[in-house]
Structure 1
């Protein structure tokens, strides 16, 4: 078969499976970013709380999960989680090995890693808020919840978008490591296609190109979100004036 036939959508072609793998990669990355957003926000709040114990716990989280190799974390979540699920199943009367779903394990592992980086992004974004705005809100008696909704969250999101774009790109590349769990994402699909056809150069190049397409499109999305946030902020300042 020719290269075009191997990459096509007809009989014997791998085009559909490669596109499906790319979609699964996007799904893993999006799920991981959502998990990381929750964890990152909580950890950032702990580090900004001013309470030594909470700040120490947050510091340990970001230090560990930014310092330990991503592949090791994926192994720990996948195999450790499977062992925990199996033990729980045996306690409930089930027999045999009960594995943790590959997608869930991958999204959770990459999400935990993403959360460590997002925590620093949110912390930096909060510290970038002009102190005068928070002081003015306190001076007029604005409640904590109202300050959070009207001042803190809009500006944290605005300042965090560039950093979140970098975290997304990092998570997108980390999702390739999830292939070790057997999940048929883009990297795993490229490996299977290359091994089945012995066309290693072709399918690894195509896989790399698909990753570049995903990262390029993602970069445009985040750049657009950044411009929109800047326009909204400018419009808000004009309205106040």
Structure 2
């Protein structure tokens, strides 16, 4: 136990990187999905097909492979452009890769939520004299987000746990810090249990926040 306490600052530092990667990936993916989801429904056919292809490809690839493609592919591209060896920053590659992944899943979540909003809402908005962009922002988007919240919360938890995968490219997040500490002290069980406890605390807090916000948005669930 004393060994774990001695390494606790390093583990907490790794937890900070884990949260940075998870939050950055989720936010980037969410912003992309907010744009892609309506386009996947209302855009011309070529754009809808391109989005469907992107979503299908990303959802069909292991997340670890996407991380490798971004990290090593980006390194090759930058090296060719610069004329010398340039390695992609690990945290940038990790956030970019998981952003691509989360954007694909979040697009499907938001698309399904958008389709669940009654067409009569659009008609009511148009009857009030609202143009489509303003109608979407003021009337459709709030309803879509309420319906999408359970899926969004689940995807946040998935991204939070998948952030451990970026340790494979050398990023010093929680899992990497735990592996290093376990190897240095030869006490793997203690450090892996500590890492598990930290993940459970973060996911537990996230679940409580998501549940509270969901109840706030839908008072009928009280």
TM over 0.5: yes
Range class of TM-score, shorter chain: over 0.9
Match of 1:33 in 2: 26
**Taking structure 1 as the reference length, what is the TM-score of the superposition?**
0.87
Is 1:58 the equivalent of 2:47?
no
Question: Secondary structure of 1:14's match?
Answer: helix
State TM-score, norm by structure 2.
0.94
Residue in 2 that maps onto 1:23: 16
Distance 2:30 2:128 in 1: 31
Q: Matched residues in 1 for 2:155 and 2:54: separation?
A: 16
Alignment of 1:116 onto 2:104:
yes
TM-aligned CA deviation for residue 50 of structure 1: 5.0
CA RMSD of aligned residues (A): 1.6
The partner residue of 2:4 within 7, 18, 34 is 7
Task: Name segments (4+ residues, structure 1) moved above 2 Å.
Answer: none
Correspondence for 1:197: 185
Could you say what secondary structure the match of 2:171 adopts?
A: coil
The answer to whether the aligner puts 1:47 opposite 2:40 as a matched pair is yes
The runs of 5 or more residues in structure 1 that have no matched partner are 235-241
Match of 1:143 among 131, 143, 154: 131
> Structure 2: any 5+ residue segments left out of the alignment?
none
Deviations, residues 119-147 of structure 1 (Å, cap 9, x unaligned): 01110111121221211112332212320
Question: What displacement does 1:185 show?
Answer: 0.4
Deviation of 1:202 after TM superposition, in Å, equals 1.2
Question: Separation in 2 of the partners of 1:54 and 1:209?
Answer: 44
Query: Which is richer in helix?
Result: 2
Number of paired residues?
221
Q: Say whether 1:215 aligns with 2:203.
A: yes
1:152-173 Cα distance to aligned partner (Å, 9 max, x none): 1211221121111011011011
Select the structure of larger CA radius of gyration: 1
